[in-house]
Amino acid sequence: MRLIFMLLLIVAGGQVFAAAMPSKAPDEVRPLLEGMTVPDVVVSDTDGAPFSLKALLMQKPSVVLFYRGGWCPYCNRQLAGLKDIEKPLSDLGYQILAISPQSLEQLTSQKLESEFAARLLSDAKLNALNAFGISYYVDDETAKRYKGHGIALTTDETGKPVLPAPAVFIVDTEGKIQFSYVNPDYKVRPSPALILAAAEAIAK
């Protein structure tokens, strides 16, 4: 029994460590799972004010969306699609938060150019991406291609560019994850109808 307990500690420790830094590839991310409690990390809004993400999540049940950036057409399409379910989600008491690794300047520019149902948040220091276990290092070839298109990716302390595997989490006011959707293929996103159905089921 003692050996089993020690092995569980080792495995759990490995999971915590893995979530504290980016994975090597999008298909190797280790996201938080349903039933887990979200970590207390600091993010910023478009005003530049840093605050506790967990404190914000405790105010209302939340649909938390992680996206790559305003330069990504798949992300913009997903964000635009949330307008269709904004009212029913609001009627159920939910708030919609959209987190990206963009800088405050990039985030402000995106907010001015588009109107989204979600509250846009910056995680330029990668606190949330790493803690939720969805961050990964962008390979050199891809990073070079993005740079050629004028896309400046956020880097970590090693200088390597990092992106999130696009994800959606539904979190209750106790900070517990009730629903999660993570796909390493950035072109595949959950439909607004699926997100709304999950939110409705949780609210019952």
User: What are the pLDDT digits (tens) for 158-204?
Assistant: 999 999 999 999 999 999 999 999 999 999 999 999 999 999 999 98
Average pLDDT value for residue range 123-147: 97
Split at pLDDT 50, 70, 90, the class of 49 is: confident
Q: What percent of the chain has pLDDT over 90?
A: 79
pLDDT at res. 111: 63
- Where do the domains of the chain lie, and which CATH numbers do they carry? 2-203 (3.40.30.10)
| pLDDT reading at 17 higher than 50 | no
Average pLDDT value for residue range 84-111: 90
- The per-residue pLDDT of the chain, averaged, comes to 88
- Asked if 122 contacts 102 with a C-beta cutoff of 8 angstroms, the reply is yes
Closest to 96 (Cα-Cα) out of 108, 109, 83, 106: 83
Tens digit of pLDDT for each residue in 99-121? 999 988 887 776 655 667 789 99
In whole angstroms, what is the distance from residue 166 CA to residue 189 CA?
Answer: 8
| pLDDT reading at 150 higher than 60 | yes
Report the b/e string of 44-66 with b at 16+ CB within 10 A.
Answer: bbbeeeeeebeebbbebbbbbbb
